[in-house]
Amino acid sequence: MIRVTDIHKSFGTLEVLKGVSLDVAQGEVVSIVGASGAGKTTLLQIMGTLSRPDSGRVEIGGEDVSSLGDKALSKFRNERIGFVFQFHHLLAEFSAFENVCIPGLIGRRPRAEVERRAAELLDMMGLASRRDHKPGQLSGGEQQRVAIARALVNSPAVLLADEPSGNLDSHNRDEIHRLFFELREKLGQTIVIVTHDENLAAMADRKITMSDGTIL
């Protein structure tokens, strides 16, 4: 589902990724760990087409994304890739339900279909009774579950998460971790999670360790 081949990336004179290759199978949950500054976020952003590598290939679902122009790439990203970050980045003025719908509406999918999917996902996240709450009226764990539902509303090929539980207490952290594996069971979702949490990293099918711009 994801194939990254010989990725190099520098910022100025700092070489952050030094020839990284990685394959992730359909339905696989892969964790990426490593010291701060090892290049984990940089790699995840390149995998997610948010950033372009200096050289190397990124294929998602068999499509070589390096060949896509900016407009096609935005469309591809909206339809095929879901992101969850450490901070939820929900829009404060909108309800949980509306936040989840937004990527579907940006993708110009039929409103009824988007709303049905959003309701289904909020239900799966245990948030059916919170759908009309604004982010400010939700707990940190609930906000993060809304962000996960939002990432999934377009049924992406891959879900990429960067320290998704880094900002949560231990109870909410466990809950979010459990959810990722439930998503794989129920949806066959392919998931890559960057984390500093050793428990979460160990739960994955495969744990990848990065050090100084390479995979060990």
Ligand X SMILES: Nc1ncnc2c1ncn2[C@@H]1O[C@H](COP(=O)(O)OP(=O)(O)OP(=O)(O)O)[C@@H](O)[C@H]1O
Binding site for Mg ion (CB under 5 A): 41
Q: Which does 150 bind (CB under 5 to 8 A by kind): ligand X, Mg ion, none?
A: none
Q: Which amino acid is at 67?
A: S
Minimum separation from the CB atom of position 37 to ligand X (A): 4
CA-based angle 159:90:111, to the nearest 5? 75
38 sits near ligand X (criterion: CB under 6 A): yes
Q: Nearest-CB residue to Mg ion?
A: 41
What is the spatial distance between Cα 7 and Cα 18, in angstroms, rounded to a whole number? 7
Q: Which does 39 bind (CB under 5 to 8 A by kind): ligand X, Mg ion, none?
A: ligand X
Give the nearer residue to Mg ion in terms of CB position, either 99 or 195.
195
Q: Which of 2, 4, 20, 39 binds ligand X (CB under 6 A)?
A: 39
Q: Which of 24, 31, 42, 138 binds ligand X (CB under 6 A)?
A: 42
Produce one character per residue of 82-108: b if its CB has 16 or more CB atoms within 10 Å, e if not. Answer: bbbbbebebeeeebbbbbbbbbbeeee
Minimum separation from the CB atom of position 137 to Mg ion (A): 29
What is the spatial distance between Cα 204 and Cα 215, in angstroms, rounded to a whole number? 17
The position carrying tokens 């579950």 is 145
Minimum separation from the CB atom of position 161 to ligand X (A): 12
90 sits near ligand X (criterion: CB under 6 A): no
> For residue 70, what are the CA distances in angstroms to 38, 73, 151?
27, 5, 21
| Token output for 113 | 């279909």
Q: Which does 177 bind (CB under 5 to 8 A by kind): Mg ion, ligand X, none?
A: none
Distance of CA 25 to the CA centre of its chain: 15
Minimum separation from the CB atom of position 208 to Mg ion (A): 14
96 sits near ligand X (criterion: CB under 6 A): no
- Provide the binding-site residues for ligand X, judged by CB under 6 A: 11, 14, 16, 34, 36-42
